[in-house]
Chain A
């Protein structure tokens, strides 16, 4: 499509797209893994990278290459759940606040602003500490989603506010369109690209937060994710014992993910904003 081609002209989109595709393929390899990720001591421990074990093995007796593949897959799954659910909440809040205005708007935005202001990390730590044993990928994703919608709700609200004052809204209302179909049919096409760009941003945030929580031991450390890999590496003092392959793998993979997701979200949002698009274009 033309949009795709235009996006690709930005080197940041091109690079991030390729990196993300590569990582996704890597994650999908996990479906063909020869080892069960939940079992320990399936291979000799602490081996350096070799032909048999491309990224070495860790102190739990797992092959790092295949564990990493599961880790990327699980981290992305958590991020997707967190991102999608928080989009839904953000869109609901933003649309209702922007469309209704008045007191509804004020109340909803107050809730949203309060979430921005409070140190969320501590609240999440509190909650995670209490549910960590029974946590799985889905519950973790939902926990993150519960706190990741506030900023983007405001962004969507501004969009809806500006759409609401446009002529086509008045026309639709005057011709008897009801609220829900109006919002869904007319506003969604404008909102979708914005939602997509914030989704990518949110996913990066979710992966980062998951890693931080996992390293602190607040998630279910038996499920391989990028964060839990680092947790075990630190727990077994991999740095001190010089087992760099165990530490570097999750760090490098996650850095690739973060930077790629960020570049993609920046290039998409710059593409959407007509001002930056013209700036990119006219003045070379």
Chain B
């Protein structure tokens, strides 16, 4: 399958090197609660290969480590979060950069121009005492030198128009806008400098369904215009189905399955993914829905072997002893499950 960018440049094939790659990424929270040290294994050996011009979705329950993974991918690791191992690589024209080897200033320069972040709960991420246009100007002039305020404002205004947002939004204060509007403004802000990668953390949560649709539409618009990569984290499988090209399922800090959207929904291999898909309502199907029994393990106190084995319907002995690695069982389909491999 070949996709082209908006500007009609050379076609990008699936076999191109990934734009964002991680190897054995481990990031833990190390907390000291009154003398007792607790380690939260939020990201526990994650290998990703994310391509250009795709929407890569990451799904999973709350508390499985998704946001931490995003922070690690963005290079935003601050205490008490610590990088315990592994690497994250960005592909810029001509080379691959190890993100954690960059200086703070180099990272800052990459931000927004190369990779942008749309945080969870985008309701309160805008400076409440300044007008939106001043926030836009802050972002622009922090990265693009030599632009006067007037130029920056023109860029911002034109940008809004492109995305179908009213220009006079820029003269408003954040509290004058509804939550959904603020979410869309934040997304537009992320796309401002045409970054190659955009990371979105739960962009549709806490919004009503109608607004959700607008947000998803906006994301899709941006992706098609810019031809960039969007990494989308949401537990809402409906949104994943709507917009993602590939989906990865995350559980207890690990990626346990990854495939194209059709494969995930049509042929889930991991028992957890199966539960997840089965629990989704289907048009016309009135049978009772079941979800996985029990609850996810605490990231401070992980069980041995496969983190899912305590809730899994069929466990082998290896499941209790050894952590299954994430391996490809078909082209574009990886699973971390001893059972799935046997089949």
Contact = CB atoms under 8 A, between A and B. Distances in A.
Interface of A: 6, 9, 281-284
Interface string B19-63: 000000000000111110000000000000000000000000000
B79 A284 contact: yes
B80 interface: yes
A120 B134 CA distance: 44
A9 B31 contact: no
Contacts of A283: 79-80
B80 A282 contact: yes
Nearest to A283: B79
Contacts of A284: 32, 79
A233 B95 CA distance: 80
Contacts of B79: 282-284
B34 A9 contact: yes
A191 B36 CA distance: 28
A276 to B, nearest CB: 14
A284 B82 CA distance: 12
Interface residues of B, number: 7
A282 B80 CA distance: 5
15 contacts: A6-B34, A9-B34, A9-B35, A281-B31, A281-B32, A281-B33, A281-B34, A282-B31, A282-B32, A282-B79, A282-B80, A283-B79, A283-B80, A284-B32, A284-B79
A9 B32 CA distance: 13
A283 B34 CA distance: 13
Interface of B: 31-35, 79-80
* Shortest 6 CB-CB contacts between residues of A and residues of B: A282-B80, A283-B79, A281-B32, A6-B34, A282-B31, A283-B80
Given A9-B34, A282-B31, 8 more contacts: A6-B34, A281-B31, A281-B32, A281-B33, A281-B34, A283-B79, A283-B80, A284-B32
Contacts of A281: 31-34
A284 B34 CA distance: 13
A257 to B, nearest CB: 29
Contacts of B31: 281-282
A6 B33 CA distance: 10
Contacts of A6: 34
Contacts of B33: 281
Nearest to B30: A282
A282 B34 CA distance: 10
Nearest to B79: A283
Nearest to A5: B34
A282 B29 CA distance: 9
A6 B36 CA distance: 12
Contacts of A9: 34-35
A283 to B, nearest CB: 5
A282 to B, nearest CB: 4
A135 to B, nearest CB: 47
Contacts of B80: 282-283
A281 B33 CA distance: 7
Nearest to A6: B34
Q: Which of A6, A9, A282, A283 has the most CB of B within 10 A?
A: A282
Contacts of B32: 281-282, 284
B187 to A, nearest CB: 30
Contacts of B34: 6, 9, 281
A50 to B, nearest CB: 48
A146 B33 CA distance: 41
A9 B33 CA distance: 12
A6 B79 CA distance: 22
Nearest to B81: A282
A134 to B, nearest CB: 52
A278 to B, nearest CB: 8
A215 B214 CA distance: 71
A6 B35 CA distance: 9
Contacts of B35: 9
A281 B79 CA distance: 11
Contacts of A282: 31-32, 79-80
B306 to A, nearest CB: 30
Nearest to B29: A282
A76 B151 CA distance: 67
A229 to B, nearest CB: 42
B82 to A, nearest CB: 11
B68 to A, nearest CB: 14
A190 to B, nearest CB: 20
A268 to B, nearest CB: 15
A284 B80 CA distance: 8
B23 to A, nearest CB: 28
A129 to B, nearest CB: 47
A219 B33 CA distance: 49
B254 to A, nearest CB: 24
B36 to A, nearest CB: 10
A27 to B, nearest CB: 33
B115 to A, nearest CB: 25
Nearest to B34: A6
A284 B32 CA distance: 9
A61 B79 CA distance: 62
